[in-house]
Chain A
Amino acid sequence: MTTTDAPQAAPPPTGKRRIGDVVFAGLARSSGLLILLILAGVAAFLIVQAWPSLAANTQNFLTTQEWEANVREDPAFGIAALAFGTVLAATIALVMATPVAIGIALFIVYYAPRRLASLLGYMVDLLAAIPSVVYGLWGIGFLAPQLVPVFESISRYLGWIPLFAGPPSPSGRTLLTASVALAVMILPIITAMSRDVFQQVPQGHREAALAMGATRWEMIRLAVLPFGKSGIVGGAMLGMGRALGETMAVAMILSPSLSISWNVLQSGNQTIAGHIALQYPEATGYGVSALIAAGLVLFAITLIVNMAARYVVARGNKEA
């Protein structure tokens, strides 16, 4: 039997404990506990189901690049290439999205006309409402062909940087294209977090800066950005978490292949999430279990990034 602790923030002035109260409180509490249970369950079931393939794996899971898991015995697979592709794609997306997101947040909070601000914010939120499979379709049908000439000029002029070494893929379906799509998808979340902190900047700080004759930019640099640092960093990390786990857009844009390549203008990389989506329907033998192992790695990475992000945001809130 679940019972609740008697003293509350605003305790009902009842003498005896009613059966309705006990039942309702029990229901509410068990819902809360169910969430913890689900999260624990996700980790536990993934570990249990990943174990058979990990135990049978003939290669080192963490350092192997190939993926020969669809066999009945002696599977040989590893996460190295996939993890590399995942982190690379998410990092590039983050580098592209964060400055733009900060700009958008500043625009909505400090530059846009007051009356339009909420509508404009709503439009940015719409970016988050578009399903990722539609982004994938857009990526193949519109973005990739549009980016081919851009990639050609990048590799012509910046080809000396290993990331942009040519020749670029003629289809445009490369890691950089996927990263652009990811950047668009994580824009709203970084913007939302930055907007929240920018709105919390004490009016006194801002007015003090303006009263000293600061221009709008100087006010932002002196009062807003230092105050909003934790929100920006936290938002960027949440965006990173989203980009790491994003599946469909990546799976549709990138062709299935497995190699560690720094060259983002050629096809050849793949991410963990994309690989799982592409491989799962054809998985046999140890295949499914191996994919669950890959999912476990993804789960661990995103969990760490998200927890760190929440920690940064919470600490920032405390200081404020």
Chain B
Amino acid sequence: MSTTTTQQPPEPATRAELSRGSLPLYFSPVLLTASAAVVAGVLLAFSSFGVMLWALLTAVAYLVISVTASVRVEGARKAKDRFVTAIVYGCFLLAMAPLVSVLWTVAQNGMARFDIYFLSVSMNGVLPSMDAGGVYHAIVGTLAITGMATVISVPVGVLTAVFLVEYAQGRLKKAITFFVDVMTGIPSIVAGLFVVALWMMLLGPGHLNGASGALALAVLMIPVVVRSSEEMLRLVPMELREASYALGVPKWRTITKVVLPTSASGLTTGIVLAIARVIGETAPLVLTAGSSAVSINWNLFEGQMMNLPVFIYSQVRMGGAVNYERAWAAALTLILVVMLLFFLARMIGRLFAPKTR
């Protein structure tokens, strides 16, 4: 009995497997459209149409029908593949849902107050419940604090990256790389507490100003700058450095005249992205720059300094209807700023990339 099977593979099964049909290419899109339409129809008939419910039921209907059809026509393995494919697509759409939802709610609610007036006046002399006031002072604060944080972190970050790529070796290099990674994971509020603790030691309690906010942001920004700059410096071909050395150029001139200019666009992109990262930080600024400033303050070293994220937070804490409107409009402003920075980073990366080929 077993002699025949060892010499010949079980042929009938193989043939059955190979001769299995397959569903036509248009099967998935047609089924998806059909189930979406039918589900929409049924929901409308019961007048309980909701986008979330509709998407969920469509997905379920599609999954059940396509897997059943596939099992019958194509066999269990293909059916499982179809099932996983649908789930994987579903995961991506599921992730897009909050993105679209956040952007949509912010745009919708923010438009109510978002205008030139809102952008050009501060909250000085405005009572929380008055139908007036704007974010000019918060924009000023955001610019000043983020600017100072950038001024602190860019030299430190880029020089550290230069050290890691061009100079460091052995234990020290490993230690710095590791701790830069660890530093990326510092919770933002801990960075704020660090500055609070530092100030309490050096100056005593109660020093809320823009500079301490900038310091807290710099703690968060430095590791991001190091990581991205390091990656960019590693992309610079060794041949460029060697060519420079061959001409007798000293190492530091090679770095400043060859390596850094070559990677300039990449470095700038990384820095802009790092700014976009920290410009929305709220928690450290609540602790260090204060959350009750209402007037325009350009002085980083004196007095509380409002900024966009903290403005949103403090308006929400006040809790009135007008406050929520202000918070939404400020959120719209903040998101526009972040998107602008993201766009800028992409543009820099694309326009000023070194033309290698």
- The answer to whether B254 and A12 touch across the interface, beta carbons within 8 angstroms, is yes
A56 to B116, CA, bound (A): 53
Measured CA separation A68–B270 after assembly (Å): 44
Interface residues on chain B, size class:
35 or more
Contact A187 B189, beta carbon cutoff 8 Å: no
Is there an interface contact between B312 and A24, defined as CB atoms closer than 8 Å?
no
Say yes or no: A281 contacts B291, CB within 8 Å: yes
CB of A140 within 8 Å of the partner chain? yes
Judging by beta carbons under 8 Å apart, are B88 and A111 in contact? yes
Residue of B nearest to A20 (CB): B252
| Complex-state Cα separation, A131 to B94, whole angstroms | 20
Q: How far is the CB of A7 from chain B (nearest CB, A)?
A: 9
Interface residues in B141-181 (C-beta closer than 8 Å to A): 155-157, 159-160, 162-164, 166-169, 172, 175-176, 178-181
Say what secondary structure dominates the interface of chain B. Answer: helix
* B84 on interface, CB distance cutoff 8 Å: yes
Contacts of B223 in A (CB 8 A): 35
For the complex, is B255 an interface residue (Cβ under 8 Å from A)? yes
* B10 interface residue (CB < 8 Å to A): no
The reply to whether the CB of A25 lies closer than 8 angstroms to some CB of chain B is yes
B21 within 8 A of A: no
List chain B residues, Cβ under 8 A from A303. Answer: 182, 185
Instruction: Tell me the complex Cα distance, A32–B131, Å.
Output: 51
Q: Is A276's beta carbon under 8 Å from chain B?
A: yes
Say if the beta carbon of B211 comes within 8 Å of chain A. Answer: no
Listed A/B pairs (12) with beta-carbon separation below 8 Å: A29-B167, A32-B168, A32-B176, A36-B175, A39-B182, A45-B201, A133-B282, A134-B102, A134-B331, A140-B316, A215-B81, A276-B189
Q: Does B181 lie within 8 Å of A310, measured CB to CB?
A: yes
Q: Could you say which of B172, B280, B291, B313 contacts A252, with CB atoms under 8 Å apart?
A: B313
Q: Mark A188-223, 1 if CB is under 8 A from B, else 0.
A: 000100000000000000000000000111101000
A138 in contact with B106 given A10-B245, A29-B163, A123-B99 (CB within 8 Å)? yes
Residue with the highest number of chain B CB atoms closer than 10 Å, among A31, A138, A191, A292: A31
Interface residues of A (CB under 8 A from B): 4-5, 8-10, 12-14, 18, 20-21, 23-25, 27-29, 31-32, 34-36, 38-39, 41-42, 45-46, 48-49, 99-104, 106-108, 111-112, 120, 123-124, 126-127, 129-138, 140-142, 146, 184, 187, 191, 215-218, 220, 238, 241-242, 244-248, 251-252, 273, 276-277, 280-281, 288, 291-292, 295, 298-299, 302-303, 305-307, 309-310
Q: Judging by beta carbons under 8 Å apart, are A217 and B80 in contact?
A: yes
Q: Which of A27, A45, A101 contacts B194 (CB 8 A)?
A: A45
Cross-chain contact A138 with B283 (CB below 8 angstroms): no
Given contacts A215-B80, A303-B185, list 6 more A-B pairs with CB under 8 A.
Answer: A100-B95, A129-B277, A130-B102, A141-B109, A292-B193, A298-B190
In the complex, the chain B residue whose C-beta lies closest to that of A4 is B167
Q: Are A107 and B92 in contact (CB under 8 A)?
A: yes
7 closest Cβ pairs, A-B complex: A245-B187, A131-B280, A103-B91, A24-B252, A306-B185, A28-B163, A31-B159
Cα distance A141–B162 when bound, in Å? 45
Name the interface residues of B85-122: CB closer than 8 Å to any CB of A: 85, 87-92, 94-96, 98-99, 101-102, 105-106, 109
Contact between chains at B84 and A42 (CB < 8 Å):
no
Taken together as a complex, chains A and B put the C-alpha atoms of A254 and B51 apart, in Å, by 27
- With both beta carbons as reference points, the residue of chain A lying nearest to B223 in the complex is identified as A35
Complex Cα distance, B219 from A251, in Å, reads: 22
